[in-house]
Amino acid sequence: MKFLAGVDEVGRGPLAGDVVTAAVILPANHGIEGLADSKALSSRQRENLYADITSRALCWSVARCSVAEIDRFNILQATLMAMRRAVMALSQQPDYVAVDGNRLPQWEYRGEAVVKGDGRVECISAASIIAKVVRDAEMKALDITYPGYGFAANKGYGTPQHLEALARIGATPIHRRTFAPVREQLELVQSGLFD
């Protein structure tokens, strides 16, 4: 097996923002130290590793599914679609694909789903780090566009600050309308209009 791609996602659980996936093919002797599950690393460690991965990988790509796609297809299907897009965007097509989790997208690639793969398989760890750094940067930028929700800190997850802002300010265009806290807030607004 010459070209092993690792694939991971970030952003399945948040109430806002896209789900972001990455695919990475590392050379056999990549020399990148410290690869691990992105959640086990500090922000600084992730950013340093991101620079190493993007400069030393044979190839890498980032893909996503939008909030509209998440609401249309559901988060699982959107995640699998984004993973497929990431692998298809690689400049070198892989011989085998290792995906973090317990589900493989429907595709023509040979591969396997690896539970907790982001902490066990280096190319999945690399994909985890790239996806996390990219999505975190996007949520920091969206915090400027949509102030008050704490997106820079909570990355769209349903923290108390985010839920309070959702109740006080309402949903933004980047909120996932099919996720329960957002849907419930929208239903409250709708019912209030017709009282």
Binding residues for a divalent metal cation: 8-9, 100
- The side-by-side arrangement of strands in the sheet containing 59-65 is 59-65, 19-25, 4-10, 96-100, 111-114
List binding-site positions: 8-9, 100
DSSP state of 10: E
What sign results for the dihedral spanned by CA atoms 112, 41, 9, 124? negative
Beta-bridge partners for 63: 21
Task: Identify the CA nearest to 86 among candidates 7, 1, 12.
Answer: 7
